[in-house]
Every structure is written in structure tokens, then in C-alpha cells.
Amino acid sequence: MISMNLISLRKKNNLTQEDVAEKIGVSRQAVAKWEKGESVPDMYNCIALAKLFDVTIDDLVQYSEKDSGMPLPPKGKHFFGSVTVGERGQIVIPKRAREIFHINPGDKVVILGDEDRGLAIAPQKTLMEFIASVSSVFKGEDQND
């Protein structure tokens, strides 16, 4: 999988094998061997490649565009698939999404909407912490004026 991901990421970023090699400090031949699947980059080079392409090491090594039907996502971005809306508007948040965002049974979520961009779901606790931190920044600015 890493070989296919390297090819995809390199092309997506309009880089040649030479460009990638230069940016991470290896030979073009090393990059070519990784892309052909003849060898794999060591951990140090995986870290450098993940930083270069702004993806996680896990996705760089294991992500399968073929299995997911989606291109490799940038670091911090996720595609959890689609869910079916029930008769009364219920949706099930996929397990992996609940794990990543620490959403547990009984937690409250906030549904935000923008008619042009769609819906967003955020854990209520996280949103309230964000609002409190922004609010305190603005209160501090008012005191200094």
C-alpha cells in the first residue's frame, strides 16, 4: 500500500521522484524502489514523507484508496463513510469517529448548519470550551483598551 500511496501523493503534489528525493534527503533511486514496491522506507524516511505530504504515518503506510474509494486524506481530515438518516432524523455516528473525537454514550453534540456548506456536528463540551476560551480573549482585549 505504501508504494501506491507514494505514487498518488507525489502526483497529487505535482512532484517528480527527484523532487521528493531532494526534499527528504535520499536518492531518486530510493524513491523509485519504494514506488515499485522493491523496498520500503525506514521509519526516519516515513516520518519525513508524512511531513512532506501532510499525512499521518499510519495513512502513508496502510491507507487503501481502493478499499475506501477516496483519496488519501490530509493529516487531521477524516472520511467516515455515509450514514442513513432514520424516520425521525436519527443518525449513527460511526465508531471510529466517536473514538477519534471522544464521543461517548450520553454525551451531547451540537448540530450547526450553513445552507451553502451543510451541517457540522461538534461535541457540546468541546464547543463550549472553545467559546469560553474565545470569550476570555475578547474580555482581556476590552480591559486593555
What DSSP string runs through 66-122? HHHSSPPPPTT----------TTS-----HHHHHHTT--TT--EEEEEETTTEEEEE
For residue 30, give the nearest of 65, 59, 70, 3 by alpha carbon: 3
Q: Which pLDDT does position 139 carry in this prediction?
A: 73
For residue 136, the model assigns a pLDDT of 77
Mean pLDDT on 50-68: 88
One-letter amino acid for residue 16 of the chain? T
Band (pLDDT 50/70/90 cuts) for residue 79 is: confident
pLDDT of amino acid 125:
86
pLDDT digits (tens, 9 = 90+) for 85-138: 899 999 999 998 899 889 999 999 989 898 998 888 888 888 888 888 888 777
Q: 3-state SS string over 14-79?
A: CCCHHHHHHHHCCCHHHHHHHHHCCCCCCHHHHHHHHHHHCCCHHHHHHCCHHHHCCCCCCCCCCC
The predicted structure's pLDDT at residue 49: 97
Does the pLDDT at position 30 exceed 90?
Answer: yes
pLDDT band at 53 (very low <50, low <70, confident <90, very high): very high
> What pLDDT is attached to residue 14?
96
Highest mean pLDDT among 20-24, 62-66, 96-100, 132-136: 20-24
pLDDT given at position 144: 52
Q: What is the value of pTM for the model shown?
A: 0.62
